[in-house]
Amino acid sequence: MKDWSGIYTKTTDDILDMRMHTVSLNGNFVLNFGPDGKGSMHPGEDKIAKELGDWMKVNGEAVHGVRHADLPKTKMGYLTQKDSTLYLTVFNRPVNNLARLAFPKKSTALPISAKLLLNNKELTIKHADIGLNLDKNTYFDIVLPKDFQTDRAFVIKIKLGQPKIKSDKLMDAKM
């Protein structure tokens, strides 16, 4: 998108991506919109501000009062955390509808429930014990509904707690 002066400006999705990346690293993100000489906002900025506000009304809890989640990075988006709640802001939806997250095997808090913030739909979580002895992580798949569609980044809210699985004793690979 180009503004009135021909200077490249970011789209709403670009700004959301920058914001969540910054927040996931415990940073602050400042967005500076300003009026022109007559006190009017540029229509492009109004549009972006409205879209950001609409997104924040639904997903704001993944942004405000959260901190960096000390977990392995994911290529799907960004992780933030508040107490025993983990938030995954998804920018790159997995084509197989399985949002796989890695947790260190020594973790005491693992996913026990998940839902979409957009519609509060409960999601299924599956432990994906892939049997690699030397892998320091264990994996959990969050199943996204096949009929779930959105044209914007979305947030999965994940409750962490004591798991019902034990991944300490993985299958020994024998040759």
- Mean pLDDT (whole number) for 126-132: 78
Q: Are strands 137-143 and 98-104 parallel, antiparallel or unpaired?
A: antiparallel
* Residue 62 binned pLDDT confidence (cut-offs 50, 70, 90): very high
User: Over pLDDT 90: what percentage of the chain?
Assistant: 65
* Residue 31 binned pLDDT confidence (cut-offs 50, 70, 90): confident
At 74, the amino acid letter reads T
Q: What is the DSSP string of 41-96?
A: PPHHHHHHHHHHHHHHHHHGGGTTT-EE--S---SSEEEEEETTEEEEEESS--TT
Neighbours of 83 (CB within 10 A): 11
> 67-161 domain in CATH 2.60.40.1180?
yes
Start-end of CATH 2.60.40.1180 domains in the chain? 67-161
| Nearest partner of 145 among 101, 114, 103, 107, judged by Cα | 114
Per-residue pLDDT at 50: 92
Q: Ramachandran region of residue 97, left (φ > 0), alpha (ψ -120 to 50) or beta?
A: left
| Nearest partner of 61 among 115, 123, 111, judged by Cα | 115
Which residues are CB-contacts of 3 (< 8 A; sequence separation ≥ 6)? 9, 42, 44, 45
Out of 16-30, 38-52, 119-133, give the one with best mean pLDDT.
16-30
- Cβ atoms 137, 175 nearer than 8 A: no
Please tell me the number of Cα atoms within 13 Å of 163 on its side-chain side.
Answer: 19
More confident residue, 2 or 100: 100
Q: Which of 47-56, 91-100, 125-134, 166-175 has the lowest mean pLDDT?
A: 166-175
CA dihedral for 35, 9, 24, 77, sign (positive or negative) = positive
pLDDT digits 0-9 by tens, 80-105: 999 999 999 999 999 999 999 999 98
Per-residue pLDDT at 10: 76
